[in-house]
Amino acid sequence: MSTRLSQTDHAQQFLEEASGNLNDGGNPRTKALVYRILRDTVNIIEDLEVTPEEFWKAVNYLNELGKNQEAGLLVAGLGLEHYLDMLMDAADVEAGKTGGTPRTIEGPLYVAGAPLSKYEARLDDGTDAAAPLFMRGQVRDTDGNPLAGAIVDVWQANTGGTYSWFDPTQSEFNLRRRIETDAQGNYRFRSIVPSGYGCPPTGPTQQLLDQLGRHGQRPAHIHFFISAPGYRHLTTQINLSDDPYLHDDFAYATRDELIAEIRFSDDQQLARELGVQGRFARIDFDFELQVAAAPVEQKRMQRVRALED
């Protein structure tokens, strides 16, 4: 194309009008964002010579994404959720907020309000014939002092790689619990060894990943929100050491400090002491929180979540 329509006064004025910049109403932040989105979109259309057919294909794609509730999945898969972590990490370094367990993405599958118990919990409802998992650890500050009364909010997939609530075949809050640490900052839970996650194979996210020549798999992992009064909220996950996708996560959440060694055992005397039979697994993992510089840092960021107030 020889003339760039987007560079003409007429087009510039048109985008100002469409984004509301020529009126006094509305929300200035929304206007600024929409103006930029429109400007960048028309530049993409012109630069890459996007055809009307391609444009309407993209519009339909967004409809499919919404219909399948996969927008949160796509932003994880495109690495944008991890990119936000990279930005927050860089801002933290700039502000001297270093140390402690690193953050990694929340993902799209948290459900608020899981049952709360003191010191220990059982996460699974007993219906999944998976290897039992016994996980425990301590919550500390960055100086190594134990944090009593911290909340370990944990969620994970079953052996099908699916999460309760999003998978309506699972019982309410299956594999989701909140556990308060004891006087020594310790928590422990019994659960099952989760499987990795795979994007719905015929859904719009996987469809796009196919076009990128990428898979939609995550290594087996367990999610955590860790919080304690006076400390910075931590959103993180552990990734299980034995998973083939450990360093090939489609959502880019793996970090060296978050790889948890999973130890399987066939010791049946120990199994009996733990109240199980057969092969079981153990994970020990401690979390360290930074001191909060402001009250707002103690809470998880606002975001629309299932069952969140």
In the complex, the residues that contact ligand MBD under the rule CB under 6 A are 73, 76, 105, 107-109, 157, 197, 218, 251
216, interface contact from ligand MBD, Fe ion, none, CB < 5-8 Å by kind: none
Number of residues counted as binding Fe ion (CB under 5 A): 1
Contact 105/237 with Cβ under 8 angstroms? yes
What's the CA gap between 35 and 13, in Å, rounded? 11
By C-alpha distance, which of 300, 302, 307 is closest to 111?
Answer: 307
Contact between residue 285 and residue 238 where contact means Cβ atoms under 8 Å apart = yes
Give 215 or 279: the residue with its C-beta nearer to ligand MBD: 215
Residue 211: CB minimum distance to ligand MBD, A:
19
By CB under 5 A, tell whether 196 contacts Fe ion: no
Among ligand MBD, Fe ion, none, what binds residue 222 when CB lies within 5 to 8 Å by partner kind?
none
76 contacts which partner out of Fe ion, ligand MBD, none, CB within 5 to 8 A by kind? ligand MBD
Is there a contact between 70 and 203 (Cβ–Cβ < 8 Å)? Answer: yes
Nearest Cα to Cα of residue 219 among 237, 200, 201 = 237
Contact between residue 241 and residue 218 where contact means Cβ atoms under 8 Å apart: no
105 binds, among ligand MBD, Fe ion, none (CB under 5 to 8 A by kind): ligand MBD
Which span (87-95, 99-107, 128-136, 290-298) binds Fe ion, by CB under 5 A? 99-107
Please say which residue, 262 or 292, places its beta carbon nearer to Fe ion: 262
Kind plus residue range of the DSSP H or E element containing 31: helix 28-47
**Residue 251 interacting entry, from Fe ion, ligand MBD, none, C-beta within 5 to 8 Å by type:** ligand MBD
In whole angstroms, the minimum distance from the beta carbon of 111 to ligand MBD comes to: 12
Could you say which residues in the range 100-139 bind Fe ion, by CB under 5 A? Answer: 107
* CA dist., res. 126 & res. 170, Å (int): 11
Rounded CA-CA distance 265/189 in Å is 17
Q: C-beta of 107: minimal distance to ligand MBD in Å?
A: 3
How many angstroms separate the CA atoms of 133 and 177, rounded?
15
Shortest Å, Cβ 215 to ligand MBD: 13
CB of 163 to ligand MBD, least distance (A): 7
Query: 280: which DSSP letter?
Result: E
Cβ–Cβ < 8 Å for 204, 214 = no
Catalog residues that contact Fe ion under the rule CB under 5 A: 107
